[in-house]
Amino acid sequence: MLLHDIAHCRAGDKGDTSTLSLFPHRDEDYELLVREVTAERVREHLAVRGEVLRCELPNLRALQFTCHQALDGGVTTSLALDTHGKTLSSRLLAMPLGAPDRAVQGAHLG
């Protein structure tokens, strides 16, 4: 199962920092996201050079990740093809979740 099966993501960027806000499609999948989508896993999956900080927002059923040094210098300084944070949200949603267990098996797949 990939993260996009149970969640959606919004992104923003400022300079070399990207923020990614992750929301489950269903409220009951929030705890699964908290357990599976750690700052370290996001950092590894996105190959972010800098620190990744995770903020849990349980009242909104959301996780927000601040990814430092994630955009190759940012829009105005990088020679990379796409230096906006928006593409990172798609890359994050392609992250595989852990081995199936009861919580994952009960997750919404539509």
Inform me whether the pLDDT recorded for 80 exceeds 90.
no
Q: pLDDT tens-digit profile of 35-47?
A: 999 999 999 999 9
Q: pLDDT tens-digit profile of 49-76?
A: 999 999 999 999 999 999 998 887 766 5
Contact 102, 32 (CB under 8 A): no
Q: Kindly state whether residue 72 falls inside one of the protein's structural domains.
A: yes
Inform me whether the pLDDT recorded for 100 exceeds 70.
no
Range of the structural domain that residue 7 is part of: 3-96
The number of residues making up the chain comes to: 110
Q: Kindly state whether residue 102 falls inside one of the protein's structural domains.
A: no
Give 16's pLDDT tier (boundaries 50, 70, 90): confident
Structural domain total, the chain: 1
Q: Kindly state whether residue 55 falls inside one of the protein's structural domains.
A: yes
Q: In this predicted structure, what is the pLDDT of residue 13?
A: 83
Q: Kindly state whether residue 106 falls inside one of the protein's structural domains.
A: no
Q: What whole-number distance in Å separates Cα of residue 4 and Cα of residue 9? A: 9
Q: Kindly state whether residue 105 falls inside one of the protein's structural domains.
A: no
Q: Kindly state whether residue 68 falls inside one of the protein's structural domains.
A: yes
In sequence order, the β-bridge partners of residue 37 are none
Give 102's pLDDT tier (boundaries 50, 70, 90): very low
CATH code: domain of residue 62: 3.30.70
Q: Kindly state whether residue 104 falls inside one of the protein's structural domains.
A: no
Q: Kindly state whether residue 110 falls inside one of the protein's structural domains.
A: no
**All residues at 6 or more sequence positions from 70 whose CB lies less than 8 Å from its CB, including other chains:** 16, 17, 18, 46, 48, 49, 50, 85, 88
More confident residue, 27 or 109: 27
Percent of the chain with pLDDT over 70: 76
